[in-house]
Amino acid sequence: MSVATTERVVGLNAPPRAARKSAVGANAEQRRLWTPGTNDSNRRVEVFYARPHMSADASFSPHDYTTVDYNGKVPVEHLDYGYIEKCKDVKYLEKILKVLRSGKEGIYPQLINFCESHLEKLNPRSRALRKENSVVTAASLSKDEWSQVADELKIWQEETKQRDKSLQLHPISDDVVNKNMPPIRGSNCFVALSQNSNLKEKRESLKCVLPRDYREWDKFDVEEECEKIDGGQMVQSSAIINTGHSEIKTQLDVSLLMQEEKRLLANREKDKGNEAFKAKDYEEAVAYYSRSLSIIPSVAAFNNRAQAEINLKHWHNAMRDCQSVLQLEPGNVKALLRRATVHKHMGDSQLAAADLRMVLMEEPLNAAATQLLSEIEKKLIKCQPEEQRRGKKILIQEMEVEDSNSNHGTEQKVCPVEPSQPVGGEDGSAAPAEKGDMGNAQKKPHGRGDGGPHSESNSHHGHWKGKGGSSDKYKASQEAKDKEANGTSKRGSTASVQADQSGGSKGTLLGGSAGETVNLDAPCGALPPPLARLKNEGNLLFKNGQFADALEKYSHAIQGYTESGIDSPEDLCILYSNRAACYLKDGNSQDCIQDCTKALELQPFSLKPLLRRAMAYETLERYRKAYVDYKTVLQIDTSVQAAHDSVNRITRLLIEQDGPEWRENLPEIPLVPLSAQQHHIKEPPSAEVLQARAEKAARDAERKAEVLFTALKQEGNDFVKKGQHQDALGKYTECLKIKPEECVIYTNRALCYLKLERFTEAKQDCDAALKLEPTNKKAFYRRALANKGLKDYLACSSDLQEVLQQDPNVQEAEKELEEVTVLLRQSLADASSAKPRRTVPIIEIDGDEQSSCTGEDISINLHPTNSQEFGQALNAACSGKNTAACADLLASTDPQLLPQYLSTYLNGHTISFIMQALDSHLLEKDPNLVYQHLSYLHSTDRFSVVLMMLPKEEHHHMTQLFERLSAAESTEYTKNDVQNLANKYI
């Protein structure tokens, strides 16, 4: 038993866990441990051999394990706290645990637990640790935990019920389903079960075998044959790798599916993508995300695909996906982070930094963003001194500076500098494709391409930093970058050179030298001084590369502008354009585009905003739009080299993307009016340009209206055919709102009115139609019917006569005429009035289109804009003896224009009629107007002749008029004036 005693000592000296137990307990347990062991002499021996090791050396050497016999039984003394504690052999521990659990050596729950926990420390995934758990029930969960689970389930049940119902509501016929399905497989193909009997395959039934399947059989045989020919070698070297991403269709036809199904499917495909992603099959993941997106585009799928593309190093695709996300959900942190990664890898540290800062604004604690940003910053800083050693950068100032100050001719001109194009130079600025801060126009760098990423953050940084006094890290890099743009040397060949008066021929960065005095209060266009100052400050900041600060200034200026209510679109345009430049520099392409668009709304076809927008679009890989903008730029000024380059590059890209029909997918390229072309250098966009733009807008609107119009008209016609005149009426009325000049619609609507027995309106419509098309037969005929309905038989018969004169074959007209003539006679007989006789227009029907309107007395255009309209209106009023209408007409006519309007219509009738109108309606209301009319009326051509022809009684009327006029009191004329005037008439 001495053994046992020693053992106990070891046990007591064992580490805390063992020692924690009461010594008594441990002793008792160990004693029990030993009792069965004593029976086995073999084991005893073993024990004795093992003992000295343990007591002599507490820490096991690897040598000890070799003595462990895995196959044999576990010696009983190993079932001990101390031994287990020190044992590092997982397999052996598992064995010990098994023995302990089996209970053959007695049951020691604490020792089992101890052994388990020790084993878990060594290998948490050991199979021996697996325990059978009984199933958990709601009762064994905490209340919170269960209620969460239960609530989730409840919500799901309710949702699912709805979905279930909606699915049941849309039973789809089998035919529709089948239409979209692949054909049935070749019928009853037989496959032998053993692999080597492949070749004995036979088709049992030929029924329903489709050609496709024959081909498949053929194909199979060919492959088989090939393999046979190639022999064993072939077999050796042909592991089959199942990674056929290319065979996965990335587009799904879901046209027949319901929304619910699409949603499920899109989710499912996305899940598949996620799984493939987890298994690092990025290409497959991309394929499945694409499938998901082809069903329903979602932010998550775009985002995930972006990440997969990043992992595949497909930067452009990744960028496109990030942009898609940001379009759907601006400010999406994941997308920003991913875009930053893409930017970083494409060498756009600036843009990457900008994105990361945006992320950090949203989520200040985002560790990934912080880390990436610090990496980028380090890189940028590293790059700078290196570049300082390098040669000068030669840059081409592509465009003139658009600032309206540019013609000040002073050296201090401060203005944003266009993204410029590096040409050669040691450092080359040759970041690989898509250098965002270069406005992205330099995808094909002219430099040698050895610049590597970040080469654009350039040399003279220290200089600027000192000057600007802003030592912010980000700014430092921006400043540095700006320098590149600023250190402009002109390229003689560019047409636009003239405008760049800064820096100029010095070729280095003299233009922006610190010592330069900048007149911040230099006037800027029509801007009030405070705004001008803001703008100049912005310009200076921009020049210094403090884009964010410049941006702020411009924003203030824009705000100030809108508040001040100045009307100077040119200045606002420049402000927007400048701010766009800041955005572009900051890599904020979206806002850049917005500002450019605003600028272009103000000043269509201005070069800079167009170019900036093009660059921004290109950055966003919206190549089509970029292409259109570049093309527009080239229309304005063909000498913009950057635009040429970009157009070429984008063309290639688009051909790659869309194939030979790429042009078909392009949006329309606006036609630049001549006035806007080439003149951009000298003058700000003129009113003509504005007009051109307005015209274009009008054209567009017209086109849209045309479509709508046709649709409405068709609907109207359909209603007429169905006899639903009231509905048709509505459609036609809408038509006329779009196009008030459409004769057919008037006649059609007139028909509806006729059917609805609304004769007055019908007549008005006919009148309108005739105004537009004075020989419209239908209009005449329908007006005749309307007149008949209004019991104006005379007008009716004259209209009918007109119809018959134009086309004697209209039998309906003839019939109507007969009928109406009878009616007319009756009415004449009834009424003693001879009035109609005078206005029977037959005498006037002599092919003169104007005269055909004489029958009108209701629809009078009271606002004539030319002589013809006036004449028509006057005739209408005259023939209807409608002095009131005539008075209204005169009231709305400028007296000065009266002679001009009246000249061709002047005759005795009209004069006396006008006199009557003036006398009976206007004189009381507005004697001044009457006076004025009269004072101009007599200056009409042929007035005196016509006056002479007037019958006596008319002269009498006139005299009365003048008497009354002089009686009416007015400040504008005296009695003498009236007398003088009267003398001219009488």
Partner 1 sequence: MRSAEMSSPLAKPQIIAHIQKSLNYTVFDSKWIPCSAKFVCLGNFARGTGVMQIYEVQHGEAQLIKEVEKPKPIKCGTFGATSLQQRHIATGDFDGNLNIWNLEMPELPVYTAKAHKEIINSIDGVGGLGIGDGAPEIVTGSRDGTVKVWDPRQKDSPVANMEPIEGETKRDCWTVAFGHAFNDQDRCVCAGYDNGDIKLFDLRNMSVRWETNIKNGVCCVEFDRKDINMNKLVTTSLEGKFHVFDMRTQHPTKGFASVSEKAHKSTIWQVRHLPQNRDIFMTAGGAGNLHLWKYEYPAQRCKKDSNGVDVGVAGSISLLQNATLSSQPIASLDWSPDKQGLCVCSSFDQSVRVLIVTKLNVV
Compute the distance between CA of residue 787 and CA of residue 779 in angstroms, rounded to an integer. Answer: 12
The least CB distance from residue 341 to partner 1, in Å, is 23
Tell me whether residue 97 or residue 937 sits nearer to partner 1 (CB atom): 97
Tell me whether residue 116 or residue 618 sits nearer to partner 1 (CB atom): 116
Q: Within 10 Å of residue 953's Cβ, how many Cβ atoms?
A: 9
Identity (one letter) of the amino acid at 450? Answer: D
> φ and ψ at 135, to 5 degrees?
-65, 145
Closest CA to 354 of 595, 611, 580, 547: 547
Taking CB under 8 A as the binding criterion, the range among 44-52, 194-202, 370-378, 663-671 that sits at the site for partner 1 is 194-202
- Give the footprint of partner 1 on residues 227-246 (CB under 8 A): 235-245
CB hemisphere CA count around 833 (13 angstroms): 8
Tell me whether residue 186 or residue 419 sits nearer to partner 1 (CB atom): 186
* DSSP string over 372-401: HHHHHHHHHHHHHHHHHTS----EE--S--
- Contact residue for partner 1 among 57, 151, 201, 818 (CB under 8 A): 201
> φ and ψ at 421, to 5 degrees?
-105, 125
- Give the footprint of partner 1 on residues 52-111 (CB under 8 A): none
Compute the distance between CA of residue 955 and CA of residue 959 in angstroms, rounded to an integer. Answer: 6
| Cβ(444)–Cβ(646) below 8 Å | no
The least CB distance from residue 343 to partner 1, in Å, is 29
The least CB distance from residue 81 to partner 1, in Å, is 15
The least CB distance from residue 244 to partner 1, in Å, is 6
> φ and ψ at 213, to 5 degrees?
-75, -30
- Give the footprint of partner 1 on residues 106-135 (CB under 8 A): 113, 116-117, 120, 125, 127, 130, 132-135
Identity (one letter) of the amino acid at 5? Answer: T
Compute the distance between CA of residue 968 and CA of residue 979 in angstroms, rounded to an integer. Answer: 13
Taking CB under 8 A as the binding criterion, the range among 280-288, 509-517, 788-796, 871-879 that sits at the site for partner 1 is 280-288
The alpha carbon of residue 521 and the mean position of all alpha carbons in its chain are separated, in whole angstroms, by: 39
Compute the distance between CA of residue 742 and CA of residue 768 in angstroms, rounded to an integer. Answer: 9
Tell me whether residue 146 or residue 936 sits nearer to partner 1 (CB atom): 146
The least CB distance from residue 604 to partner 1, in Å, is 49
Tell me whether residue 57 or residue 145 sits nearer to partner 1 (CB atom): 145
- Contact residue for partner 1 among 63, 278, 389, 837 (CB under 8 A): 278
Tell me whether residue 284 or residue 742 sits nearer to partner 1 (CB atom): 284
Q: Which residues of 424-453 are buried (b: 16+ CB within 10 A; e: fewer)?
A: ebbbbbbbbbbbbbbbbbbbebbbeeebeb
Compute the distance between CA of residue 886 and CA of residue 873 in angstroms, rounded to an integer. Answer: 8
Q: Within 10 Å of residue 373's Cβ, how many Cβ atoms?
A: 22
Tell me whether residue 21 or residue 777 sits nearer to partner 1 (CB atom): 21
The least CB distance from residue 312 to partner 1, in Å, is 17
Q: Spell out the alpha helix ranges (H) of 620-686.
A: 623-636, 641-658
Tell me whether residue 115 or residue 820 sits nearer to partner 1 (CB atom): 115
Q: Within 10 Å of residue 165's Cβ, how many Cβ atoms?
A: 9
Q: Does 275 bind partner 1 (CB under 8 A)?
A: yes
Taking CB under 8 A as the binding criterion, the range among 193-201, 592-600, 648-656, 949-957 that sits at the site for partner 1 is 193-201
Compute the distance between CA of residue 221 and CA of residue 34 in angstroms, rounded to an integer. Answer: 73
Tell me whether residue 182 or residue 492 sits nearer to partner 1 (CB atom): 182
Closest CA to 815 of 804, 802, 829: 804
The least CB distance from residue 355 to partner 1, in Å, is 29
- Give the footprint of partner 1 on residues 255-274 (CB under 8 A): 257-258, 260-261, 264-265, 268, 271-272
- Contact residue for partner 1 among 2, 39, 66, 194 (CB under 8 A): 194
- Contact residue for partner 1 among 3, 248, 312, 708 (CB under 8 A): 248
- Give the footprint of partner 1 on residues 145-164 (CB under 8 A): 145, 149-150, 153, 156-157, 160-161, 163-164
Tell me whether residue 268 or residue 964 sits nearer to partner 1 (CB atom): 268
Identity (one letter) of the amino acid at 178? Answer: N
* x-or-dash string of contact with partner 1, 471-500, rule CB under 8 A: ------------------------------
The least CB distance from residue 100 to partner 1, in Å, is 13
| Cβ(323)–Cβ(436) below 8 Å | no
- Contact residue for partner 1 among 20, 32, 98, 280 (CB under 8 A): 280
- Give the footprint of partner 1 on residues 910-969 (CB under 8 A): none
- Contact residue for partner 1 among 197, 505, 726, 775 (CB under 8 A): 197
3-class SS letters over 921-955: HHHHHCHHHHHHHHHHHCCCCCHHHHHHHCCHHHH
Tell me whether residue 125 or residue 389 sits nearer to partner 1 (CB atom): 125
Q: Does 223 bind partner 1 (CB under 8 A)?
A: yes
Q: Does 699 bind partner 1 (CB under 8 A)?
A: no
Q: Total residues at the site for partner 1 (CB under 8 A)?
A: 89
Q: Spell out the alpha helix ranges (H) of 603-640.
A: 607-619, 623-636
- Give the footprint of partner 1 on residues 162-191 (CB under 8 A): 163-164, 167-168, 170-172, 177-178, 181-191
Which 3 state secondary structure label does DSSP give 203?
strand
- Contact residue for partner 1 among 5, 195, 493, 809 (CB under 8 A): 195
Structure tokens at 326: 């940001």
Q: Spell out the alpha helix ranges (H) of 810-903.
A: 811-830, 835-839, 867-879, 883-891, 898-902
Taking CB under 8 A as the binding criterion, the range among 200-208, 495-503, 690-698, 777-785 that sits at the site for partner 1 is 200-208
The least CB distance from residue 570 to partner 1, in Å, is 58
Tell me whether residue 56 or residue 139 sits nearer to partner 1 (CB atom): 139
